[in-house]
């Protein structure tokens, strides 16, 4: 026997169910968080993204009154961790400390990346940024940005090279921005990680290298490599003695950095998102956190920066660099 539900009875049941959900959702959000939060990092422990996540996770835990557990899901340039969060339940218990590579660049150059950094996440706020450092080997004879420009403009294309941590990374594209902005041509040499790059730079096998500032600074301080300049318009408070490349005529258009932001899955309930945004804003006002981030090489974002607009501008900037470098999606 087939049971047929009266249309009116079905409509009333649906209305009651919707009302129950409407009442339950705010109640659940009001109790958030009531158990530990996972903060996913798409890289192994020890790097700049991981360190930012650990420092930020401590602050977030204080403000939410709940443990924040860092989970390293490294691999594929940060995209494995990002994919995990994109697929997670939108309840605020699985968050991502996302960087420029996986949230902005990856989908432009890798057709295997199925998530959309803008559509498949709830952008909660920008935490910090870090400039990149154009460094020279001591054997190159380059001591500053003016020397770099003079040598490359006088040389035939392909005479000099620069290394980065891989094709399509923010470091690679920062190097292409230098090429484009100065109308010079240093050939790109991709490395698997920073360590072999720095080794070749120190030995003179590599002329120049593009490094995240925190990675290159110890070698600069140790006198092993030469700091040509940082890639943001202003000098970094972490290393105010290193000029911005843009200070030197010919480099004025160079302005790019790596950023670190907080994300949840798409569809995060607004009460939960608001609570996380408020905790992030409060953290950015902490002088203690600011000092720790500067020691780690990062510069805190200003309170109130719109993360959606910020990511859109990053996508525009890096998209132009991908096009200029003629990197085809693989």
Q: Are residues 136 and 235 in the same domain?
A: yes
Tens digit of each residue's pLDDT (9 = 90 or more) over 47-70? 889 999 999 999 999 999 999 999
Cα end-to-end distance, the chain, whole Å: 57
Q: Are residues 50 and 151 in the same domain?
A: no
Q: Are residues 137 and 211 in the same domain?
A: yes
The H-or-E segment that residue 135 falls in is strand 121-136
Q: Write phi, then psi, for 40 (nearest 5 degrees).
A: -85, 140
Contact residues for 171 (Cβ-Cβ < 8 A; gap 6+): 132, 164, 165, 210, 211, 212
Which residue stretches of the chain have pLDDT < 50? 1-28
Q: If you write DSSP's letter for every residue of 152-196 in order, what string do you get?
A: HHHSPTTSSEEEESSTTSHHHHHHHHHHHHHT--PEEEE-SSHHH
Q: Are residues 137 and 243 in the same domain?
A: yes
Eight-state DSSP code of residue 104: I
Q: Are residues 210 and 285 in the same domain?
A: no
Is cis: bond before 33, omega within 30 of 0? yes
The H-or-E segment that residue 40 falls in is strand 37-41
User: Under DSSP, is residue 318 helix (H, G, I), strand (E, B) or coil?
Assistant: helix
Q: Are residues 103 and 191 in the same domain?
A: no
Q: Are residues 169 and 211 in the same domain?
A: yes
Length of the chain: 330
Cα separations (Å) of 128 from 108, 205, 253?
Answer: 23, 33, 22
Q: Are residues 203 and 63 in the same domain?
A: no
C-alpha span between 261 and 154 (Å, rounded): 41
CATH number of the CATH domain containing 194 = 3.40.190.10
C-alpha span between 62 and 183 (Å, rounded): 49
Domain boundary among 204, 221, 247: 247
Q: Are residues 226 and 278 in the same domain?
A: no
Q: Are residues 47 and 82 in the same domain?
A: yes
Tell me the residue range of the domain where 105 lies: 37-129+257-325
Q: Report if residue 241 sits inside a domain.
A: yes
Tens digit of each residue's pLDDT (9 = 90 or more) over 85-129? 999 999 999 999 999 999 999 999 998 999 999 999 999 999 999
Cα separations (Å) of 254 from 146, 175, 180?
Answer: 14, 10, 9
CA dihedral 165, 170, 174, 180 (to 10 degrees): 110
Q: Are residues 201 and 297 in the same domain?
A: no
Q: Report if residue 30 sits inside a domain.
A: no
Q: Are residues 319 and 239 in the same domain?
A: no
Q: Closest by alpha carbon to 73, among 35, 108, 102, 105?
A: 102
Helix axes 213-221 and 194-203, enclosed angle (nearest 10): 30
167-172-178 Cα angle (round to 5):
150
């Amino acid at each position: 026997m087939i049971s047929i539900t009266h249309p009116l009875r079905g409509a009333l049941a649906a209305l009651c169910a919707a009302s129950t959900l409407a009442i339950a959702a705010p109640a659940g959000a009001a109790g958030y968080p009531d158990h530990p939060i996972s903060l996913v990092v798409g890289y192994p422990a020890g790097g700049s993204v991981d360190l930012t996540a650990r420092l930020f996770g401590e602050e977030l835990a204080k403000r939410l009154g709940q443990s924040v557990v860092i989970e390293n899901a490294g691999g594929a340039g940060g995209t494995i961790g990002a994919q995990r969060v994109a697929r997670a339940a939108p309840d605020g218990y699985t968050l991502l400390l996302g960087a420029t590579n996986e949230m902005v660049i990856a989908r432009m150059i890798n057709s295997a990346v199925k998530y959309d950094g803008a559509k498949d996440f709830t952008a909660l706020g920008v935490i910090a940024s870090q400039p990149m450092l154009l460094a020279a080997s001591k054997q190159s004879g380059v001591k500053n940005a003016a020397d770099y420009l003079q040598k490359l403009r006088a040389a035939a294309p392909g005479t000099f090279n620069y290394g980065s941590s891989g094709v399509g990374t923010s470091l690679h594209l920062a190097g292409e921005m230098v090429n484009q902005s100065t109308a010079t041509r240093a050939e790109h040499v991709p490395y698997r990680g920073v360590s072999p790059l720095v080794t070749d730079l120190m030995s003179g096998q590599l002329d120049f290298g593009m490094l995240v500032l925190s990675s290159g600074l110890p070698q600069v301080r140790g006198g092993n490599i030469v700091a040509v300049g940082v890639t943001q318009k202003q000098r970094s408070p972490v290393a105010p003695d290193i000029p911005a490349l843009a200070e030197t005529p010919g480099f004025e258009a160079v302005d790019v950095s790596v950023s670190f932001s907080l994300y949840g899955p798409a569809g995060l309930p607004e009460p939960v998102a608001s609570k996380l945004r408020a905790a992030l804003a409060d953290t950015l006002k902490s002088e203690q956190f600011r000092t720790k981030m500067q020691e780690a090489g990062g510069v805190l974002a200003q309170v109130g920066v719109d993360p959606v607009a910020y990511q859109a501008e990053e996508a525009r900037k890096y998209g132009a660099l991908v096009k200029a470098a003629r990197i085809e999606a693989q």
